Structure 1
C-alpha cells in the first residue's frame, strides 16, 4: 500500500531515471540557436575540437551536451530530420550502456546516431549491429550521411567481403554489421597466423538494434566454424567389430524411447575388449581421458541396435542415405552428427566419410559480453528485463513516446475450434477492406500464414507480388475500384529488400499484409505508404530531373491523400491469429500500429486448438464452454482470459530462460578456456622472439619426465633409469647414457636433471646456430601456433563428448555442472601438458629443407548458424566461402539457364530456385523424389 502511494507521488524507478535526463535535454535545446548559426565547416570543425578536449583529459560525459547538439544540427542539414527530446533521452540511455525500449516509429535508427558519434570520438571504433545485411547497408548509407558530414569514417560489414575489405571497414570510426558477420570474424581472427591478418581491432562499444531478437532469440544457437577431422576410419571399424560380440544380457534396449545402454556386464566386457585392442589411454573405460572412446562406443551401439537398414536408412552407391521418418523419402546430402553417420557406414562396411569437427565456436551471449560497453534498442524488452540484467548486465529503460499512444488494444476473442477462429478472422479482414482500413495479420509460422492465404484465395482473394513497382502504383493509384481490389501480400522472410518494401506499404488503405514475425523488419509502417521507398523503387530508372521532380511530387500528393483515407478508417488494424509463447513477440506485432500518435487497433483471435491453449489445459475449458451453451462461431471475450494467457506466457518465458541460462553455464566453462587460449595465441603472434617460451616449455617437460622416473630423495638404485631413457628418447629424440650417470658416485637427482637439461639446451643451441635467428624464430612461432590449434580442436571435441554424457552423473546425485567443470579443467591441464610435450618434441626433431617455407594456411572451413525456429543452417548456400573470407567465382549464377537444370551446377538448398519460381530450391526443384 505504502509502495503504491510512493510510486504515485514520485513515479517508479524508470520515471525517475527519465526525469534525470531532462536537465541535459534542456541544455541541448538551449544550444540549438547558437549551433544552427554555424557554417557547415564550423560545424564539422567541432569534431576535431571534441577530440582535443578528450585528449586534454575530459570524459565523454563532459562533452555529451555539445556533442548531441552537434549531431542534431547535422541531422537537420543532411537528412532534414530533427531529434525529438525523447530521442535525445534515448541517446543518453544508449550512451550509459543500457537498453532503450522505444515504441515502433519513434526513430530508433536516428537515436543511435547520438551515442555513436559521441563514443566514436574516443577513436576506438563503434559497432552498430543489425539483424540482416540489408539493414546494415541501408543504415550505413542513410545515417552515414550524418557521420561523414561531421568528418567521421563509416564502414559496413556484409556477406561477401574479403579480409582486406573487412579490415578497412573495422578500421572506420563507425562500423555497421550483422551479429553473424561480427561473430564469425572474431572466430576467424583467432585462427589467423599473423596479427596483421586479423580484421577486427577490439570490442569497445556496440549498439545492438532489435536487441531482443539478437541477444535472446538468435542467441539460442551458437556460431560454429567446422572442418573435416583427420581420417579415423580404422577407429570406427575397430569399435564396430566389438558390438556384434555383445549379447542380449550386455545391452539394455528401450525401443519406445529409442535409447540403448550397456548393462554393467556389458560395460565390463567392452572395457576388456578395448583394453586388449589397445584402445584405452588408461585402465578404466570411464576415466576422463577415454571420454571420446565412450562416445564412439555409444554411437556404434545406437547404429547396431536402434537403426534398421531400409527403414531408417538405405545403402545406395556406396553411401548411407537417411530416410525421413515422416515422409519416407530419401534425404541425400544430409548426415547424422557426432559420429553416428560414420558408425552406420562402419556397420554397413561402406567407405567412411570424414567427420566434421568444431574448429571454433562461440555463443552470442559470450561474444557480446566481450564489449567494454554494450547497449541496445528495441520496441519490446521490458518482458525480458530479468534476462538482460542477469546475462548481459543490461538495464532496460522505457523511453516515453513523442506523442501520446492512442491505439485501441481489444481483449482477445477465444473460439472453440480453429475453423471458427479463421472464419472470424476472414470476416474482420473483409470488413476492414470494405472500410479501407489497412490490416496487418500476424501468424506464428510460415505454415499458418500459407493456411490463411489459402482460405483467402477460396474466398476470391489473390496474392499480389509487390516487387513490381509499376503494378503496385497501378493498384494503389487512389482509384476506388483499384484500392478495393481483393489482394493481399505475404512476407516471405527471405528477400530483405523486397520484404522491407512490402512492410513500408502495409499502411495503404485497404492493404492486407500477412506476416510470420514482425521482429527486426527495420521499416516503419506509415499510413498511406512510405514515400522514400516508393520513390526509390518506382523512379530508379528515371534520369530526367524535371520528370523525376514531377513524379516525386505526384507520389507525395498521392500518399498524403491515401494517409487521410487511412486515418479516417481508423489507422492500421493489427490482427493476431494466435498468441505466441512469448509476450514480447505479441507486443512486437501490436507495436506496428499507432506510430507517432496515429490511431490504430489491435486484436488477437484464439481457439482452444492453438498450441498455447492446448498445452495449458483447454480440454477442461472446452467441456465447460459446451455446458455453458457456447454456440458455434460464438467467442468468449473477457479481461480475465487475457490475464490467464499472460500468466501462461510468463511460465513459458521463465522455463525458456532457465533452459538458456543452464546452457550458458556449461558454455561459460568453455568460454573461460577459449579466452585463455585466444589471448595466449595473440600474445605469441605479437612476440617478436619466442625462444624464452619454448625454452620454458622444454625445461618444464624435462622436469616432469625426470620427476616421474626419479622420485625425490630416492637412492639411485631406486630410479627408473630404463623408463627415463626411453621417455627422453621419445620426447626429446636424445639417446643419453642415463644408466651410466646413475652409477656415478654421489650423483643426486638435481645433478641428473641438470645434465639432461644441459644436453637438451645444447641440442637446440646447435640447431639455432645452424639455421640462424630469423629462421629459428619463424620455426618456433609456427610450431607453437600449429600445435596449439591442433590440440585446441581435439580439446573441443572432448568437451563436446563430455557434455553429452555428463548429464548421466545426475543419477548418482552429483551435480552435472560441477562435474563438467572439474572434468573440463582436468582436460585443459592435460592439454597444456600435451602442448609443452608436442612443441618440445617437434622442435628437437625438426629439420629445415633448403627452400622458402610456405605460410601456414587455414584449414578447410564451413560456417554454421542454425535458425532457432527452423533448425536449418542459415549459411547453407553456395557462396558460404565468402563469409569465411574465401573469394569464389560468382559468375556461375549468371550463366544458369532457368529452363535448363543441367546449367545450374550446385545449388544451395536455401538459395532461390534457378527456375525463377521464387521458392527456395529445397521447396522446388530440390525436393526429394
Structure 2
C-alpha cells in the first residue's frame, strides 16, 4: 500500500529517469532553428569542429545537445525523418550506457544514429550490432546516408567478406555487424601472426539492437572456432541403430531441465547389446574407465532421439542438419552442437556425418561484449530481464514512453482442455477476422505446428502466408504484406523481427516492386499513386480493428510473448492481441496443468469452451517467471565457469598482442631460456643438498635436449667450490653464446622474425591443448559436489594449476625449438633450388601437353597432386618432394599440412 502511495507521489524510478532527460531534450529542440539554417557543407563542418573538441578533452556529455541537433537535421535532410522527442530520449539513454526499451515501430534504427554519431566523434569507432546479416546491410545502407550527410564513414561486416574490405569496414567511424561476426573476428584476430592481419581496432562503444535476443537468448551458446578431429562416423551410426530398440523403462526424461538419462534397466540392456554388436569388448563393463567414450556417445545418441525434434529444433536441408534458433525461429547455418551431439543427430537423420571438431578458440557473448569500454542496447522487451542485464553487464533498463498512446487491446488468455479444441477455435477466430478484413498474425512455436495450422486453413479455403525457417529468405516480403487488408500470416517466433508490420502494407516495398515492374515509368508518379492508394487501404484496416496478433501458445519467456504482442499497435495504431492455450501445451503440461484440468472437469466445461480469467494470466506469468529465474541461474553458473577461462584468455591474447607489437623479442626469449635453466638446475641439483646427491648425468642429458648445448656438465660436479649458482651461470652463459651465434648465422632481422613466429605458434598450440583440458576438467568437477566440495572452487584452483603448467611447458618448448633451428647449408640450398626448377619444368610440360590437346591434368588436379607429380617421387624421401607450399598437404601422406608436419620449424 505504502509502495503504491510513494509511486503516486514521487513517481517510479523509471519516471524519474525520463524526467531527468527533459532539460536535455529541450536544449536540443532550442538549437533546431540554428541548425536548420546550416548548409549541407556547414553540417559537415560542425562535425569536424565537434570532433576537435572531443579529441581536445571536452566531454561527450557537454557536446551532446549540439551533436544530437546536428544529427537530427542531417537525418531530416537525408531520410526525410525528423526524430521525435522520445527518440532523442532513447538516444540519450543509449549514450549513458543503458538499455532503451522502446516499443515496436518507435524507430529504434534511427535512434541508434544519435549516440553512434556522438561517440564516433572521439575517433575510436562505434559498433552497431544487429541480429542478422540482412539487417546489418540494410541498416548500414539506410543510416549510412545520415552519417554521410554528417561527414562520417559507415562500414558493414558480413561473413566470407574479403579481408581488405573487412579491415576497411572496421576502420570506419560507424560499423554495422552481427554479434556472431564481431565475436568470430575477435577470435580470428587473436589467432593472427602479425598486427597488419588484424581487423578490429578496439572495443570502444557498442549499441546492440534486439539486445535481449543477443545478450540473453544467444548468450547460452559460446562462439567456437574449431578444426576437424578424428572421424568416428561408424561409431555414431552403430549406436544410432541401437537407440530405437530401447523401451520407456530404459530411460527417464526430465522435460523441465531438458535432460534424459538411462535407468538401471537401460544400462543392463545397453551393456548386453553393446557386447553383442562388438562395440564393447567382452569382459568390459559400462562402468570401467575404458568405456568412457562409448558411454558418452550412447548418451548423445539418446539425447538426439529423445530431446531433439525435427522441424522444431532443427531441419534437414540439402542433406545437412541445420539448427533452428528457438527464440527467433531462424536457421542457424554453420552453427553446430558440440560434444558429438550434432553428429548423433546426423546419424539419426541418415545425413553425412561431419567429423567432430576440436576447439581452437572460444568466447561467450557475455565476455565478448564486456570487452567494450561502454555498452548499450535497444529492444521492445527488456524489463522482465532487468536483473540479469544489471548483474552480468552492468546495464540499466529504461522504458522510453511511446510517441503516441498505445491503443492495442490485450485480451485475457483463453484456455481450452485439448489442443484439438484450441486449434478449432483458432481457425474459427481467424476466419471471422479475415471476413471483416482484419489482418491476422498467428504466432506458433515450431515449424511443425505452423504447417499443421496452415493445412487446417487450406481445408477452410482461407488464403494465408507461412513464415518459418523454411521460408526465411522471403521474411521481409511476407512481413511487409502482413498488415494488408484481410491478410493472414502464420509465423514462428521470429514474427517480423527487424521489419515493421504497417497497416495497409509496407509502402516502400510496394513502390520498389512497382518500379521494378515498370522500369520505364516515372518513379515520382509511381510513388504518388501508390501512396494515395495506401492511405485508403490503411484506413480500411484501421476500421476493421488494426492488426490482430493471435498466439497459439505461451513461450517459456514472457519476453518472447511480449515481442509477438508488440507487433500490433505500433505508433498509436489500433489492434488487439489474444493467446489461445490448451492444457496439452508444453508450458501448461510441464508446469502443473493437472490441478487445472481437475478444476475444469469439476466445473463441467463443455467441449470447445474456454476458461478466460485474469487469474489464469497471473498464474501463467508466475510459471514463466519461475522458468526465467531458473534459466538465469543456469546462465549465471555457466558464466562463473567461463570467467575462469576468460581471465586466462585475456592473459594469452594480451601476450600475443605484445609479441606482435614488439620489434625485438630477444629479451623475452632470453628470460624464458633462463627460467628453463633455473628449473633444470632446481630439478637435478635440488636446493640444500650435497654435491654427491646431484644428478649431473640427468642434467647433462637435459641441457642437450632442451638447450642444444654440449658442455662438460658431469665434470663440473667434481670441481671444488662449484655450487648450483655456478652451474646456473655457466649454463646461461653457454646458451646465450649459442643463441648469439645463431643470430649472426641467420642475420639479426631474420632471427627476430623466427623468434616471433616460434613464440606465436607455440602459444597457439599450447592454448588449444589447454582449452581441451579445461573442457574435460569442467565435465569432471561436476561430480565433486557429491564429496561436499564446491565444483566452482575446485575448477578455479585446478584451472589455475593447469595454466601455470601450460606456461612452464611453453617456456620449455620455445627454448627447445629455438635451440634446434639452424640455417640450411649451401649444399641443401642447392638441392632445394634444383628440385624447384625440376618441378616448374614438369608443370610447364604438363601445361604444354594440355594446350596441344593431349590428355593432361586440370589446374585443380595439379594442385591436388602437388609435388607427387614430380618424376622419381618417393613419399619416404624428402629430397624428392620438390618445394611444397606451407599450407599444402604434406607429401609424406600424413594428412597434415606441410607446415605442421615435415615443414615444421626443426
> TM-score if structure 1 supplies the norm length?
0.78
Structure 1 unaligned regions, length at least 5: 234-251, 263-293, 314-322, 344-351, 462-486, 855-887, 889-929
Is residue 718 from structure 1 mapped to residue 693 from structure 2 by the alignment? yes
Distance 1:840 1:206, change over 3 A: same
- Matched position secondary structure for 1:206: strand
1:914 aligned residue = none
In the alignment, which of 626, 637, 643 is matched to residue 601 of structure 2? 626
Secondary structure at 1:225 match in 2: strand
Q: Please give the alpha-carbon distance, in whole angstroms, between the structure 2 residues aligned to 1:159 and 1:542.
A: 34
Deviation of 1:2 after TM superposition, in Å, equals 3.0
**Deviation for aligned residue 1:802:** 1.1
For residues 294 and 760 of structure 2, the distance between their equivalents in structure 1, rounded to whole angstroms, comes to 37
Shift of 1:301: 4.9
2:405 pairs with 1:429: no
CA 1:145–1:31 in 2, change beyond 3 Å: closer, same or farther? same
Task: Measure, in 2, the Cα distance between the counterparts of 1:130 and 1:790.
Answer: 33
Counterparts of 1:496 and 1:337, CA distance in 2: 25
Kindly state the Cα deviation for residue 7 of structure 1 after the two structures are TM-superposed. Answer: 1.2
Using the TM superposition, give the Cα deviation of residue 626 of structure 1 relative to its aligned residue in structure 2, in angstroms: 1.3
Residue 400 (1) aligns with residue 401 (2): yes
Tell me the CA shift for residue 534 of structure 1: 1.5
Cα 1:716–1:342, aligned 2, differ >3 Å: closer, same or farther?
Answer: farther
Cα separation, partners in 2 of 1:296 and 1:149, compared to 1, 3 Å: farther
Once residues 415 and 296 of structure 2 are traced to their aligned partners in structure 1, the CA distance between those partners, rounded to angstroms, is 47
The reply to whether residue 120 of structure 1 matches residue 120 of structure 2 is yes
Whole-angstrom distance in 2 between the partners of 1:307 and 1:385? 35
| Equivalent position of 2:9 in the other structure | 9
Q: Following superposition of structure 1 onto structure 2, how do residues 342-421 of structure 1 map, counting pairs within 5 Å?
A: 356-421=357-422
Q: Which residue number in structure 1 is paired with residue 741 of structure 2?
A: 766
Which of 648, 656, 659 is the matching residue for 1:681? 656
- Describe the superposition over 1:416-448 as per-residue Cα deviations: whole angstroms up to 9, x where unpaired: 111111111111101111111111111111111
List per-residue Cα deviations over 1:471-490 (Å, max 9, x = no partner). xxxxxxxxxxxxxxxx1111
1: CA distance, partners of 2:732 / 2:540: 90
Quick check: 1:130–1:177 contact (8 Å CA) kept in 2?
A: yes
**Separation (CA, whole Å) in 1 of partners of 2:158 and 2:434:** 40
Distance 1:848 1:811 in 2: 57
Alignment of structure 1 residues 542-621 onto 2, 5 Å? 542-544=518-520, 546=522, 548-621=523-596
Match of 1:107 in 2: 107
Q: Does 1:779 align with 2:779?
A: no
* Other-structure match for 2:640: 665
Change (3 A) 1:58 1:295: farther
Alignment of 1:806-845 (within 5 A): 806-845=781-820
Are the equivalent residues in 1 in contact too, given 2:228–2:357 (CA < 8 A)? yes
- 1:522 counterpart residue number: 498
Equivalent residue, structure 1, for 2:185: 185
CA contact (8 A) 2:301 2:341 kept: no
Q: Once the 2 structures are TM-superposed, how far is the Cα of residue 261 of structure 1 from its aligned partner?
A: 13
Query: Which residue number in structure 2 is paired with residue 42 of structure 1?
Result: 42
- Measured in 2, the distance between the counterparts of 1:10 and 1:342 equals 58
Indicate conservation of the 8 Å contact 1:210/1:519, yes or no: no
What is the DSSP-based 3-state SS (H/G/I as helix, E as strand, rest coil) of the residue aligned with 1:62? helix
1:846 paired to 2:821: yes
Conserved in 2, the CA contact under 8 Å of 1:437 and 1:569? yes
2:669 paired with 1:694: yes
C-alpha distance 91-258 of structure 1, shift in aligned 2 (>3 A): farther
In 2, Cα distance between equivalents of 1:13 and 1:538? 49
Counterpart of 1:653 in structure 2 is: 628
Question: Aligned runs of 1:46-61 on 2, under 5 Å?
Answer: 46-61=46-61
CA distance in 2 between counterparts of 1:86 and 1:193 reads 47
With 781-790 and 157-166 compared, the bigger mean Cα shift is at 157-166
Question: Is this contact kept in 1: 2:230–2:355, CA < 8 A?
Answer: yes
Mapped contact 1:258–1:306 kept (Cα < 8 A): no
SS in 2 for 1:124: coil
Equivalent pair of 1:101/1:379 in contact (CA under 8 Å): yes
**Change beyond 3 A, Cα 1:802–1:9:** same
SS state at 1:61 partner = helix
Q: C-alpha displacement at 1:785, in angstroms?
A: 0.5
**Number of the residue aligned with 1:135:** 135
Equivalent position of 1:864 in the other structure: none
Structure 1 residue 43 displacement after superposition: 1.7
Deviation at 1:737, TM superposition (A): 1.9
- Distance in 2 (CA, whole Å) between partners of 1:572 and 1:27 is 37
1:203-235 Cα shifts (integer Å, max 9, x gaps): 1001000011111111111111111348999xx
Distance, in Å, in 2 between the alignment partners of 1:128 and 1:48 is 22
Per-residue CA deviations over 1:17-38 (Å, capped at 9, x if unaligned) read 0000000111111111111111
Q: Distance in 2 between matches of 1:710 and 1:232?
A: 47
The equivalent of 1:228 in structure 2 is 228
Q: How many residues align?
A: 758
| Aligned counterpart, 1:732 | 707
- Whole-angstrom distance in 2 between the partners of 1:38 and 1:18: 30
Unaligned runs of 5+ residues in structure 2 are: 234-260, 272-286, 322-335, 345-352, 834-859, 861-906
Contact 1:229 1:357 in 2 (8 A): yes
How far the C-alpha of 1:304 sits from its partner, in A, is 10
- Distance in 2 of aligned mates of 1:299 and 1:333: 28
Q: Secondary structure at the match of 2:406?
A: coil
- 1:704–1:675 Cα change, 3 Å: same
- Contact in 2 for aligned 1:260/1:302 (Cα 8 Å): no
Q: Deviations over 1:805-830 (max 9, x none)?
A: 21111111111111111111111111
- 1:457 aligns with 458
CA distance in 2, matches of 1:507, 1:308: 44
Tell me if structure 1 keeps the 8 A contact 2:232–2:355: yes
Q: Distance in 2 between matches of 1:53 and 1:396?
A: 30
> Paired residue for 1:488, among 439, 458, 464?
464
Name the structure with the higher helix share. 2
Which residue does the alignment assign to 1:203?
203
1:730 to partner: Cα distance: 2.1
Q: Cα offset for 1:495? A: 5.9
Q: How many angstroms does 1:553 deviate by?
A: 2.0
Over residues 489-530 of structure 1, what are the superposed CA-to-partner deviations in whole Å (9 max), with x where a residue is unaligned? 111246656211211221111011111114672111111111
Q: Is the 8 A contact 2:104 2:380 kept in 1?
A: yes
Q: How does 1:202-351 map to 2 (within 5 A)?
A: 202-229=202-229, 256=265, 297-302=290-295, 338=339
CA distance in 1, matches of 2:692, 2:653: 45
Greater relative CO (CA pairs within 8 A, separation 6+): 1
Alpha-carbon spacing, 1:805–1:683, altered in 2? closer, same or farther (3 Å) = same
Which position in structure 1 is the counterpart of 2:256? none
- Alpha-carbon distance change, 136 to 410 in structure 1, aligned in 2, over 3 angstroms: same
Q: Assess, with a 3 A threshold, how the Cα gap between structure 1 residues 297 and 195 changes in structure 2: closer, same or farther.
A: farther
Further displaced range: 705-714 or 23-32: 705-714
For the residues of structure 1 that align with 2:60 and 2:49, how far apart are their CA atoms? Answer: 13
Is contact 1:87-1:111 (8 Å) kept? yes
Distance 1:399 1:560 in 2: 29
Contact (CA 8 Å) 1:155, 1:175: kept in 2 or not?
yes
Q: Secondary structure at the match of 1:711?
A: coil
- Aligned match of 1:508: 484
Partner secondary structure for residue 407 of structure 2: coil
Q: 2:125 and 2:774 mapped to 1: Cα distance? A: 35
8 A contact 1:261–1:298 mirrored in 2 = no
Distance 1:666 1:256, change over 3 A: farther
Q: Tell me what 2:159 maps to.
A: 159
